[in-house]
Amino acid sequence: MFSKLIARNSRRNRKDSILYFSSMVISIIAFYIILSLSNQNVMLFLKKMESDAVDRLMTLIPVFYVLSLFILFFLVYFAGSIQIERRKHEFGVYLTLGMKRSRLFFMLLLEDLRNNIIALGIALPVAVLLSELISLVTSKIVGLGIIGHQFSLSLPAVVFTVVGFLLVKLPAFVFFSIKVTRKEIGELLSYPPSGIKKQLPNIIYFFSMILGALMLAKAYQLGISGRAWFDRKIMGLTVSLGGLGTILLFYGLRMVIGFFAGTGRRNRKKLHNFNFRQVQEMVIHRSTTVAICSLLIFASLCLFGAGIAISMDATDNIHILDYTFSNKDSYENLDTEQVQEFLEENGMAPLFSNVLGIRVGHPKELHSLSLDNLVEQIERAPLNDARNTLLHNLKNRDDCYLISLSGYNELRQAADLEPFVLEDQEAALYMNRDFLIDEALLNSIIATRPAIRQSGETLTLTGQIESLPIVTDRSITLTFALIVTDTRFESYTGGNYTNYVSAVLDPDFVQEKGLMQAIMETNNALDKMPLAYESYLQSMGRKLFYVVAASYLTIYLALIFLVVANTTIAVLFLMGQRKTHRRYQILVHLGATCETLCESARKQINWYFGLPIAVALINSIFGVLFLFPALLPAASLRTNVGRRVFIAGIVILVLTLIEYIYMSLVKRSSDTFLRTLMIPQRVD
């Protein structure tokens, strides 16, 4: 009988608190995914390529884990205590019927333990599957086709997830269970009145709202300017202004809600005045809590939007070359014939479809470059930050690297691009994408065929900006160079240049093995040859680490913040509704129908959720722009910020849909509760 009572109560509690139970399930999933990060394919790969960076990342995971447990503890304690408070009349009945207090405590403990086991049983399998899916999707996004993927289960992640979840749940539950079981029977059976806080003069709320808005505006200005990332004091000021401004804004919103409540006489909508009085009372009681929830939603929106935008940054990587070779024991130039011979002698030639060489040199005459005509054209362009930066970078430049046309055309062919033709007196401008400020502006100027001077000779710029990577990783990074004919190249360099020999893997080999395994197998074979090399995976390893470290952690925190904020708002409303249930019973006595009460509660939910969400959405527009300068590379900010803002906007819209789903679930719970009040009862 006792076990049946526990099972029935446990089932009823999950049904009555489906939002809270779902939040616990989502939290468990998030815990496992972040803790199992070291077992994912991308991280196993990164351990070989960027072991030091991965080790540092792994030391941060426990910090995020403990922070999440700390935040979740307050949600569990807050929501759990409200659940216990909601059932205290039931507990009073149990004690009246003769149940011992120790047995009541034991019953509550077993109910909670049963729910915890069910939550873990649902969440852990889902978490394992999601972890595997995330690993595969991430690898696909960054261009690493993983063949032979094997299922992996992280036992340490399972253990720490279970232990962490129980460490949060059980102590909080034990604390407020002891508290409620110590109450007297009369106190448990009575319904305490819903308190009303004293209303201050409206002028105080008005100035509070204005001051809060001004603080937020200043926080926006400091954040978007980027100054906060370079000065801890300004960062602290920005965060303080934003947090305090939001709290003051919500404190002042009492006046606005009161204004809407006062328009009831002129508004014929059913229960208009009652709805806003209910919302006003909830905000008066919980304005700081609602403001904090809004800040959590704001943080979630920003982190989620920025995290997705960062992960999309991986797709911007241009992949043409797989290897760049050099001598292990000397600085002498290699040529393509030497590399081909080495590969053939070791039976590796079939693994490569193309071996090419690009000659890069420096003019034998120092300070022999003049860009006066190009600079004049830039000065005529419309004033903006990109134009000013470009002008600053080129105005005093009097030197550059040179690239041979024949070698660069081989690179274009490897990229499936048509080779371009230069006359002897023409040159093309080359700039690495990381330093390319405004490609459209430069291309429009080059279209006018401006003249420059190199080594005393006039060259005409033609074509468009070229920026294909001339090596696989870091052998050389050219901020500014000229592509010239081979004749000019020999003349200007005097035969003193470096030949960068690179190779492309055979497409069939890559298709069969997948890019990661193909390069790893090739690396093992190349280690035995008298050639030094750098591979595409070295560049990809750093790129992938950046994606994992930034996007995974920001999305993880976003999920935790979103769950905590929405669950808190939902529990606050539902508990407030139960505390004021006598008001609804009076409306039933006055003839209100169930549909009328449900519609009234839905409107209250729209306002109660809508206020913090609306403020969070406005804040997040500026917050995402604030995060980009810190989390994205400078080149990405310059060239793709529009696309990333668009992506972040889409993510924010998706999360807004999630908020709508939360509101719908709360409305369903509210409707279920209100239907129980439709039987008229005597009001003493």
Which of 359-373, 595-609, 659-673 has the highest mean predicted lDDT (pLDDT)? 359-373
**pLDDT tens sequence across 33-79:** 878 777 766 666 666 665 665 666 677 777 777 877 877 787 777 77
Q: How confident is the model at residue 1 (pLDDT cuts 50, 70, 90)?
A: low
Name the 3-class secondary structure at 649.
Answer: helix
DSSP 8-state symbol, 354: E
pLDDT of residue 199: 65
Q: How confident is the model at residue 493 (pLDDT cuts 50, 70, 90)?
A: very high
Type of residue found at 389: T
DSSP 8-state symbol, 367: T
Name the 3-class secondary structure at 452.
Answer: strand
Q: Is the pLDDT of residue 141 over 60?
A: no
pLDDT of residue 634: 47
Q: How confident is the model at residue 683 (pLDDT cuts 50, 70, 90)?
A: very low
Q: Is the pLDDT of residue 632 over 70?
A: no
**Percent of the chain scoring above 70 in pLDDT:** 79
**pLDDT tens sequence across 239-264:** 888 889 888 888 887 777 766 656 54
**pLDDT tens sequence across 176-225:** 777 777 777 766 666 555 555 566 777 888 888 889 889 988 888 887 77
Pairing of strands 352-361, 457-461: unpaired
Instruction: Kindly write down the DSSP assignment for every residue of 505-559, as one continuous string.
Output: E-HHHHHHH-HHHHHHHHHHHHTTSSEEEEEHHHHHHHHHHHHIIIIIHHHHHHH
Q: How confident is the model at residue 405 (pLDDT cuts 50, 70, 90)?
A: very high
Q: Is the pLDDT of residue 124 over 50?
A: yes
Q: Is the pLDDT of residue 144 over 60?
A: no
Q: How confident is the model at residue 270 (pLDDT cuts 50, 70, 90)?
A: low
**According to DSSP H, which parts of 87-100 are helical?**
88-96
DSSP 8-state symbol, 200: P
Q: Is the pLDDT of residue 548 over 90?
A: no
Q: How confident is the model at residue 631 (pLDDT cuts 50, 70, 90)?
A: low
What's the mean pLDDT when you consider all of the chain? 78
Q: How many CB atoms lie within 10 A of CB 58?
A: 13
In the chain, what is the greatest distance between 2 CA atoms, to the nearest angstrom? 106
pLDDT of residue 285: 67
Pairing of strands 457-461, 426-430: parallel
Residue 95 φ/ψ, nearest 5 degrees: -65, -35
pLDDT of residue 613: 85
Report yes or no on whether pTM surpasses 0.75: no
Q: How confident is the model at residue 148 (pLDDT cuts 50, 70, 90)?
A: very low
Q: Is the pLDDT of residue 110 over 90?
A: no
Across 362-391, average pLDDT: 85
Across 472-497, average pLDDT: 87
DSSP 8-state symbol, 198: P
User: Alpha-carbon distance 484 to 421, whole Å?
Assistant: 10
Q: How confident is the model at residue 284 (pLDDT cuts 50, 70, 90)?
A: low
Q: How confident is the model at residue 401 (pLDDT cuts 50, 70, 90)?
A: very high
Across 316-344, average pLDDT: 80
- Would the CA dihedral through 379, 380, 383, 386 be positive or negative? negative
pLDDT of residue 147: 44
**Percent of the chain scoring above 90 in pLDDT:** 10
**pLDDT tens sequence across 66-105:** 877 877 787 777 777 777 777 777 777 878 877 887 888 8
Length of the chain: 684
Helices 594-631 and 272-312, interaxial angle, to 10°? Answer: 30
Which is more confident, 539 or 632? 539
Q: How confident is the model at residue 503 (pLDDT cuts 50, 70, 90)?
A: very high
Where does residue 211 fall: left (phi above 0), alpha (psi -120 to 50 degrees), or beta otherwise? Answer: alpha
Lowest-confidence region among 193-197, 326-330, 477-481:
193-197
Closest CA to 436 of 446, 427, 425: 446
Across 377-381, average pLDDT: 87
Where does residue 295 fall: left (phi above 0), alpha (psi -120 to 50 degrees), or beta otherwise? Answer: alpha
pLDDT of residue 341: 87
Q: How many CB atoms lie within 10 A of CB 285?
A: 17
